[in-house]
Amino acid sequence: MMKSHPQSTDDLAHFSGMAPIFPLPNVVLFPHLPLPLHIFEERYRKMTADALHGDRLIAMALLQPGWETDYEGTPAIHEMVCIGKIVVEERLESGRYNLVLQGIQRAVVIEEPTTDLPYRVGRFELYRDFYPKNGRVNHEVRHKELLLSFRRLFPRHQTDALFTQALDADIPLGVLCDLLTHALKIDPLAKQEILEELDVDLRSELVLTRIREALSAAGLETTGTKFPPEFSLN
Protein backbone atom coordinates (compact mmCIF):
# COMPACT_ATOMS: atom_id res chain seq x y z
CA MET A 1 0.00 0.00 0.00
CA MET A 2 1.27 3.45 -0.92
CA LYS A 3 1.67 5.75 2.08
CA SER A 4 1.78 9.51 1.72
CA HIS A 5 3.35 11.97 4.14
CA PRO A 6 2.87 15.70 3.61
CA GLN A 7 6.04 17.72 3.33
CA SER A 8 6.67 20.45 5.85
CA THR A 9 8.58 23.63 5.13
CA ASP A 10 10.43 22.95 8.38
CA ASP A 11 11.71 19.54 7.26
CA LEU A 12 15.32 20.65 7.69
CA ALA A 13 14.81 22.86 10.75
CA HIS A 14 16.43 20.17 12.90
CA PHE A 15 18.65 18.63 10.23
CA SER A 16 21.59 16.83 11.82
CA GLY A 17 23.83 17.56 8.85
CA MET A 18 24.03 13.86 7.98
CA ALA A 19 22.06 11.90 5.38
CA PRO A 20 22.45 8.84 3.17
CA ILE A 21 23.72 9.48 -0.36
CA PHE A 22 21.92 7.96 -3.32
CA PRO A 23 24.16 8.41 -6.37
CA LEU A 24 22.72 7.84 -9.83
CA PRO A 25 24.22 8.43 -13.30
CA ASN A 26 21.25 10.19 -14.90
CA VAL A 27 19.11 11.85 -12.21
CA VAL A 28 19.29 15.39 -10.81
CA LEU A 29 16.80 16.36 -8.10
CA PHE A 30 15.76 19.98 -7.58
CA PRO A 31 14.20 21.64 -4.52
CA HIS A 32 10.37 21.58 -4.46
CA LEU A 33 10.19 18.91 -7.18
CA PRO A 34 9.04 15.29 -6.77
CA LEU A 35 11.13 12.36 -7.97
CA PRO A 36 9.62 8.87 -8.32
CA LEU A 37 12.12 6.11 -7.56
CA HIS A 38 12.11 2.32 -7.71
CA ILE A 39 14.60 0.90 -5.20
CA PHE A 40 15.85 -2.60 -6.02
CA GLU A 41 19.55 -2.91 -5.10
CA GLU A 42 20.05 -4.54 -1.70
CA ARG A 43 22.23 -1.72 -0.35
CA TYR A 44 19.65 0.88 -1.29
CA ARG A 45 16.81 -1.18 0.17
CA LYS A 46 18.72 -0.97 3.45
CA MET A 47 19.23 2.78 2.89
CA THR A 48 15.49 3.24 2.32
CA ALA A 49 14.49 1.18 5.36
CA ASP A 50 16.89 3.18 7.56
CA ALA A 51 15.62 6.48 6.17
CA LEU A 52 12.00 5.49 6.78
CA HIS A 53 12.83 4.66 10.40
CA GLY A 54 14.66 7.95 10.76
CA ASP A 55 14.15 11.45 9.36
CA ARG A 56 13.13 10.17 5.88
CA LEU A 57 15.89 12.22 4.23
CA ILE A 58 18.04 11.13 1.26
CA ALA A 59 20.61 13.17 -0.65
CA MET A 60 20.39 12.65 -4.41
CA ALA A 61 23.78 12.96 -6.10
CA LEU A 62 24.81 12.80 -9.74
CA LEU A 63 27.68 10.44 -10.52
CA GLN A 64 30.61 11.97 -12.35
CA PRO A 65 31.65 10.60 -15.77
CA GLY A 66 33.62 7.36 -15.49
CA TRP A 67 31.43 5.95 -12.74
CA GLU A 68 31.05 2.64 -14.61
CA THR A 69 34.47 1.40 -13.51
CA ASP A 70 33.63 1.64 -9.79
CA TYR A 71 29.84 1.50 -9.53
CA GLU A 72 29.85 -1.13 -6.76
CA GLY A 73 32.35 0.93 -4.78
CA THR A 74 32.45 4.68 -4.22
CA PRO A 75 32.58 6.36 -7.62
CA ALA A 76 33.08 10.12 -7.67
CA ILE A 77 29.97 12.26 -7.37
CA HIS A 78 29.26 15.94 -7.92
CA GLU A 79 29.55 17.75 -4.61
CA MET A 80 26.36 19.78 -5.03
CA VAL A 81 23.35 17.59 -4.25
CA CYS A 82 19.72 18.05 -3.32
CA ILE A 83 18.40 16.85 0.02
CA GLY A 84 14.99 15.23 -0.43
CA LYS A 85 12.38 13.75 1.85
CA ILE A 86 10.43 10.55 1.26
CA VAL A 87 6.81 11.73 1.00
CA VAL A 88 5.30 8.57 -0.49
CA GLU A 89 6.46 4.98 0.00
CA GLU A 90 5.36 1.50 -0.94
CA ARG A 91 7.18 -1.63 0.17
CA LEU A 92 6.70 -4.48 -2.28
CA GLU A 93 6.53 -8.17 -1.38
CA SER A 94 9.90 -8.62 -3.08
CA GLY A 95 11.49 -6.23 -0.59
CA ARG A 96 11.81 -3.51 -3.20
CA TYR A 97 10.37 -0.05 -2.72
CA ASN A 98 8.50 2.50 -4.78
CA LEU A 99 9.14 6.00 -3.46
CA VAL A 100 8.44 9.61 -4.18
CA LEU A 101 11.27 11.83 -2.97
CA GLN A 102 10.45 15.52 -2.65
CA GLY A 103 13.37 17.89 -3.12
CA ILE A 104 13.90 20.29 -0.22
CA GLN A 105 17.20 22.16 -0.45
CA ARG A 106 20.56 22.32 -2.19
CA ALA A 107 23.54 21.08 -0.18
CA VAL A 108 27.24 20.36 -0.63
CA VAL A 109 28.96 17.18 0.52
CA ILE A 110 31.73 18.26 2.87
CA GLU A 111 32.64 14.78 4.12
CA GLU A 112 31.81 11.10 3.64
CA PRO A 113 32.48 9.46 7.02
CA THR A 114 33.53 5.82 7.08
CA THR A 115 30.71 3.59 8.37
CA ASP A 116 29.78 -0.09 8.48
CA LEU A 117 26.70 0.61 6.36
CA PRO A 118 26.41 -0.84 2.84
CA TYR A 119 25.51 2.58 1.43
CA ARG A 120 27.26 5.93 1.45
CA VAL A 121 26.57 8.61 4.05
CA GLY A 122 27.49 12.26 3.82
CA ARG A 123 27.89 15.29 6.01
CA PHE A 124 26.37 18.31 4.31
CA GLU A 125 26.34 22.08 4.31
CA LEU A 126 23.00 23.54 3.23
CA TYR A 127 22.75 26.33 0.64
CA ARG A 128 19.90 28.67 -0.28
CA ASP A 129 19.26 30.70 -3.42
CA PHE A 130 21.25 33.92 -3.66
CA TYR A 131 19.51 37.04 -4.95
CA PRO A 132 22.07 39.82 -5.67
CA LYS A 133 21.02 43.21 -4.27
CA ASN A 134 22.11 44.94 -7.46
CA GLY A 135 21.42 42.12 -9.87
CA ARG A 136 21.93 42.29 -13.61
CA VAL A 137 18.45 40.92 -14.24
CA ASN A 138 15.00 42.45 -13.87
CA HIS A 139 13.25 39.53 -12.22
CA GLU A 140 9.77 40.38 -13.47
CA VAL A 141 11.00 40.65 -17.04
CA ARG A 142 13.09 37.49 -16.82
CA HIS A 143 10.17 35.58 -15.25
CA LYS A 144 7.94 36.44 -18.22
CA GLU A 145 10.76 35.82 -20.70
CA LEU A 146 11.29 32.32 -19.33
CA LEU A 147 7.58 31.51 -19.42
CA LEU A 148 7.14 32.82 -22.97
CA SER A 149 10.07 30.71 -24.17
CA PHE A 150 9.02 27.61 -22.26
CA ARG A 151 5.41 27.74 -23.44
CA ARG A 152 6.62 28.10 -27.00
CA LEU A 153 8.59 24.89 -26.49
CA PHE A 154 5.72 23.17 -24.65
CA PRO A 155 2.35 24.64 -25.71
CA ARG A 156 -0.11 24.93 -22.86
CA HIS A 157 -2.38 22.17 -24.09
CA GLN A 158 0.53 19.70 -23.95
CA THR A 159 1.53 20.45 -20.37
CA ASP A 160 0.21 18.86 -17.21
CA ALA A 161 -2.56 20.91 -15.60
CA LEU A 162 -0.91 21.03 -12.18
CA PHE A 163 2.40 22.02 -13.76
CA THR A 164 0.68 24.82 -15.66
CA GLN A 165 -0.93 26.06 -12.44
CA ALA A 166 2.50 26.09 -10.81
CA LEU A 167 3.89 28.14 -13.68
CA ASP A 168 1.02 30.61 -13.39
CA ALA A 169 1.59 31.05 -9.66
CA ASP A 170 3.62 33.93 -8.27
CA ILE A 171 6.74 31.96 -7.40
CA PRO A 172 10.30 33.22 -6.87
CA LEU A 173 12.55 33.31 -9.92
CA GLY A 174 14.91 30.72 -8.45
CA VAL A 175 12.07 28.26 -7.93
CA LEU A 176 10.76 28.90 -11.45
CA CYS A 177 14.21 28.13 -12.88
CA ASP A 178 14.29 24.81 -11.01
CA LEU A 179 10.77 23.94 -12.10
CA LEU A 180 11.51 24.59 -15.77
CA THR A 181 14.85 22.78 -15.65
CA HIS A 182 13.16 19.74 -14.13
CA ALA A 183 10.78 19.64 -17.11
CA LEU A 184 13.43 20.15 -19.80
CA LYS A 185 14.75 17.11 -21.65
CA ILE A 186 18.42 18.01 -21.40
CA ASP A 187 21.59 16.17 -20.44
CA PRO A 188 21.96 15.44 -16.69
CA LEU A 189 25.26 17.33 -16.67
CA ALA A 190 23.44 20.40 -17.98
CA LYS A 191 20.89 20.05 -15.19
CA GLN A 192 23.71 19.62 -12.68
CA GLU A 193 25.26 22.88 -13.89
CA ILE A 194 21.98 24.64 -13.14
CA LEU A 195 21.67 22.94 -9.75
CA GLU A 196 25.12 24.21 -8.83
CA GLU A 197 24.36 27.85 -9.68
CA LEU A 198 23.25 29.58 -6.47
CA ASP A 199 23.12 33.07 -8.03
CA VAL A 200 19.54 33.21 -9.28
CA ASP A 201 20.34 35.83 -11.94
CA LEU A 202 23.00 33.59 -13.45
CA ARG A 203 20.80 30.52 -13.07
CA SER A 204 18.02 32.21 -15.01
CA GLU A 205 20.44 32.97 -17.84
CA LEU A 206 21.53 29.32 -17.96
CA VAL A 207 17.93 28.11 -18.06
CA LEU A 208 16.91 30.62 -20.74
CA THR A 209 19.88 29.56 -22.85
CA ARG A 210 18.92 25.87 -22.54
CA ILE A 211 15.31 26.59 -23.49
CA ARG A 212 16.41 28.59 -26.54
CA GLU A 213 18.76 25.79 -27.56
CA ALA A 214 15.84 23.35 -27.32
CA LEU A 215 13.68 25.67 -29.40
CA SER A 216 16.37 25.87 -32.05
CA ALA A 217 16.88 22.08 -32.05
CA ALA A 218 13.11 21.63 -32.48
CA GLY A 219 13.11 23.97 -35.45
CA LEU A 220 11.09 26.61 -33.62
CA GLU A 221 11.80 30.28 -33.94
CA THR A 222 13.21 31.90 -30.82
CA THR A 223 11.98 35.31 -31.90
CA GLY A 224 8.88 36.46 -30.11
CA THR A 225 10.02 34.92 -26.83
CA LYS A 226 11.70 38.06 -25.61
CA PHE A 227 9.91 40.22 -23.07
CA PRO A 228 9.04 42.92 -23.70
CA PRO A 229 8.82 42.10 -27.43
CA GLU A 230 10.54 44.33 -29.94
CA PHE A 231 8.21 46.42 -32.07
CA SER A 232 8.38 46.11 -35.82
CA LEU A 233 9.29 49.25 -37.75
CA ASN A 234 6.39 50.07 -40.10
CA distance 95 to 38: 11
The whole-angstrom distance between residue 94's C-alpha and the CA centroid of its chain comes to 29
For residue 114, count CB atoms less than 10 angstroms from its CB and return exposed for 0-12, middle for 13-18, buried for 19 or more: exposed
Task: Tell which residue, 190, 185, 217, 221, has the closest CA to residue 206.
Answer: 190
CA distance 148 to 220: 13
CA distance 198 to 65: 23
What average pLDDT does the chain have?
A: 87
pLDDT in tens, 96-122: 999 999 999 999 999 999 999 999 999
State yes or no: cis peptide before 132, omega within 30 of 0: no
CATH architecture of 3-127: Roll (2.30)
pLDDT higher than 80, residue 155: no
Domain boundaries, the chain: 3-127, 139-217
Q: What does the pLDDT average to over 147-164?
A: 73
Among 172-176, 199-203, 216-220, which is the least confidently predicted range? 216-220
CA distance 1 to 225: 45
Angle between the 188-196 and 173-183 helix axes, to the nearest 10 degrees? 170
**Residue 44, pLDDT score:** 96
pLDDT in tens, 57-91: 999 999 999 887 877 788 999 999 999 999 999 99
**Residue 7, pLDDT score:** 47
